[in-house]
Amino acid sequence: MTKGTQADVNPDLKKERLKCNFNIQEVTFIIDGGKDKTLQRKKIEDVALNIAASIDEVPEECLNLKERYDNAVRKSCVYSNIVKNELLEITGLEALGSPGLRRTADAFFKDVSPFMLHLGMFVPTIIGQCTPEQQAHWLPKALEMQIIGAYAQTELGHGTFIRGLETTATYDPATEEFVLHSPTLTSTKWWAGGLGNTANHCIVVAQLYTKGQCHGTHPFIVPIRDLDTHEPFPGVKVGDVGIRMGFNTADNGFLRFNQYRIPRENMMMKNAKVMKDGTYVKVARHEKLTYGTMVFVRVTLVMEAAFNLAKAATIAVRYSAVRRQSQPKPGEPEPQILDYPTQQHKLFICIATAHALQLTGLWLWRTFEAVLADMRKGDTDSLPELHALSSCLKAVSTSDSAALIEQCRFACGGHGYMLSSNLPLLYSFVTATRTYEGDYTVLLLQTARFLVKAWEQAESGKVLTPTVAYLACAAAKEKVVWSDSVDGMIRSFQAVAAGKIAACAENIKRLTKTGTSLEDAWQLSTVRLVAASEAHCRAMICQAYWHEVTRLTASCSASVKIVMEQLATLYLVYWALETTGDLLRYSTICESELNKLQLKYEELLALIRPNAVGLVDAFDFRDEILHSTLGAYDGRVYERLMEEALKSPLNETSVQSSFHKYIRPLAKGKL
């Protein structure tokens, strides 16, 4: 946080900070995952942000496309040197991809680094898909940035349906090489971040053929450019996919192969091998272990969603404390817009959702580590549950945070539309996360497969895994008795999820009994399956969020416990009101209880109001990371808007050359 002197701070923000009745630092510790994590984060921010302060002379958005790319590469090189030489010294290698380290990157890039996928997917895939010998060969080179990698799975024709990928890797035992080939236009690799102009290596997911037989998709490490000249190798055609809604400095690329050869050792062989003579050997105990990097990234995306939403909430809440508008009471001063209950309704759910996703994300991360530890011992039993869990949480967290970031922009009126508010860039970044690493609908349908099976197990009295254990009680199929206690609300959300899952299972059964194939019955039920999956996910977030708040505030000061519980209750009540129709269907809630719930919601908004600025201060974003004229700690909103406007290249001269070239001749009838 760049606090400056108190004298510089906007007087309204100053007053807000005096109103705050809880210890901000305690909340920061909870959000970061502990005091030690906060201290470490601050330490690495101090190192990295000193350098970031002077990294841009001209605002990124004022550069043309090529300049922006070159500038992003320059900054990526500076940043990766800092990570390699200084930050990892402090954190250790295990912090790669951790939220603390991740935050510092935002001080360097308003948009996305072309190196993001190198550390985000290339390195994790080497760790997850290579044998120890292969890791020893590739990992040091990748960590030292001697090679730069991308992750090329998606093709022009297929992204979701991995089994439908068309790129082939055909083994040639005569030379002990794989021949990579792109047989059609639609087989062109498309979208991989960092691939267009930056990467010299890339992980390619291709259909493996050996001894004339196809063994499905497998990952390969493929050198695509000469390390010295950076020219693409013969047989490789690579380039940029064109201008995008966001991610314009991420260097998303395309790639085609023409009978391009790589050594046998470049197949990533942890889960399956091809021997010298071409014999295919399956090593993995689970069919889908080659999808491991995607599961890892989906797990990290939940906290990424929380992080970006927290940024947007910080910007919009601080701005709403500074901004005054309208005159509801004649003769009185214009109120801060944060005093309008409708503004509180827009914004407090953003703070609560950022908490819910962050705490659920930390819990998911611990679950992921536990499953990984089991898998190292050869036990893959909990992988289906992790896949179901990470799929729906990735879908709902990215979708909610994208929608709420846009809501923050609306909450800032016209100024929210300025790029310098940083809300448009945040939105363009987060809305992509709803699609990449598995589209929203597709991932909810993956979870639905797990849920329908779990329902069948519940009906036949079998033991259920922890995240669906609630289905065992619901198998009785009676309406749950409504109560507006926290436990009561969570039980009702679970009853809604169970009721929806049961309805899907019954629909599929009904259709198959009347002669519809199972596949068609599934398709005909997908609208409700998506809804059931979302309801399950929402119930899970509510439960995990409340559980974590209770656990983490057990030893906190009373005021912190109160404010954290108010926010968590707000989250639950908000979703109860949003899903009234479902509650009427699956619980005993009635009109008078709904009215009571609405009142409770409005009371919570009023209770949270004095702490709103304190709560966003607790996210502890330094100005260098927020990049926002509207959200800086000192609230000098109007001064910053003017300062940024004056940096526009259109303000360099008072008359533009186009006036003399076009407008004047037009006026004179000479054009």
Ligand X SMILES: CC(C)(COP(=O)(O)OP(=O)(O)OC[C@H]1O[C@@H](n2cnc3c(N)ncnc32)[C@H](O)[C@@H]1OP(=O)(O)O)[C@@H](O)C(=O)NCCC(=O)NCCSC(=O)CCCC(=O)O
Q: Which stretch binds ligand FAD (CB under 6 A): 49-57, 206-214, 399-407, 438-446?
A: 438-446
Three-class DSSP category at 618: coil
Catalytically annotated residues: 437
What CA–CA distance (Å, rounded) separates 630 from 338?
14
Angle between helices 24-32 and 558-578 (to 10 degrees): 60
Under the criterion CB under 6 A, does residue 111 sit at the interface with ligand FAD? no
Residue number with CB closer to ligand X (69 or 493): 69
Under the criterion CB under 6 A, does residue 301 sit at the interface with ligand FAD? no
Under the criterion CB under 6 A, does residue 152 sit at the interface with ligand FAD? yes
Residue 9's nearest CA partner among 414, 290, 321 is 321
Binding partner of 444, given ligand FAD, ligand X, none, CB within 5-8 angstroms per partner class: none
Beta bridge partners of 177: 172, 263
Under the criterion CB under 6 A, does residue 247 sit at the interface with ligand FAD? yes
Task: Give whole-number Cα distances, 22 to 17, 106, 117, 348, 399, in Å.
Answer: 10, 28, 39, 17, 31
Three-class DSSP category at 262: strand
H helix runs in 205-291, sequence order: none
Closest separation in Å from C-beta 147 to ligand FAD: 17
Binding partner of 441, given ligand FAD, ligand X, none, CB within 5-8 angstroms per partner class: ligand FAD
Q: Which stretch binds ligand FAD (CB under 6 A): 163-171, 432-440, 571-579, 598-606?
A: 432-440
Closest separation in Å from C-beta 437 to ligand X: 4
Closest separation in Å from C-beta 641 to ligand X: 31
Under the criterion CB under 6 A, does residue 193 sit at the interface with ligand FAD? yes
Residue nearest to ligand FAD (CB): 159
Binding mask 153-182 for ligand FAD (x = CB under 6 A): xx---xxx----------------------
3-state secondary structure 344-390: HHHHHHHHHHHHHHHHHHHHHHHHHHHHHHHHHCCCCCCHHHHHHHH
In the block, tokens 């009371």 appear at 603
What letter represents residue 658's amino acid?
A: S
Binding partner of 152, given ligand X, ligand FAD, none, CB within 5-8 angstroms per partner class: ligand FAD
What CA–CA distance (Å, rounded) separates 217 from 121?
17
Q: Which stretch binds ligand FAD (CB under 6 A): 24-32, 188-196, 222-230, 417-425?
A: 188-196
Pairing assessment for the beta strands 201-210 and 168-172 based on DSSP bridges: parallel
DSSP letters spanning 292-328: HHHHHHHHHHHHHHHHHHHHHHHHHHHHHHH-B---S
Under the criterion CB under 6 A, does residue 239 sit at the interface with ligand FAD? no
Binding mask 382-421 for ligand FAD (x = CB under 6 A): ----------------------------------------
Three-class DSSP category at 275: coil
Beta bridge partners of 217: 207
Closest separation in Å from C-beta 121 to ligand FAD: 6
Residue number with CB closer to ligand FAD (184 or 557): 184
Under the criterion CB under 6 A, does residue 151 sit at the interface with ligand FAD? yes
Residue 399's nearest CA partner among 491, 465, 309 is 309
What CA–CA distance (Å, rounded) separates 419 from 412?
12
DSSP element (H, E) containing 180 = strand 177-181
Binding partner of 383, given ligand FAD, ligand X, none, CB within 5-8 angstroms per partner class: ligand X
Residues forming the annotated binding site for FAD?
A: 154, 193
Give the one residue of 83, 126, 192, 316 binding ligand FAD; rule: CB under 6 A.
Answer: 192
Binding mask 251-280 for ligand FAD (x = CB under 6 A): -x----------------------------
Under the criterion CB under 6 A, does residue 340 sit at the interface with ligand FAD? no
Closest separation in Å from C-beta 387 to ligand X: 4
- Given the rule CB under 6 A, which residues bind ligand X? 116-117, 120, 151, 153-154, 159-163, 193, 288, 291, 294-295, 383-384, 387, 436-438, 442, 446, 449
DSSP letters spanning 469-485: THHHHHTT-PPBPP--S
Binding-site ranges for ligand FAD (CB under 6 A) = 117, 151-154, 158-160, 191-193, 247, 252, 432, 435-439, 441-442, 445
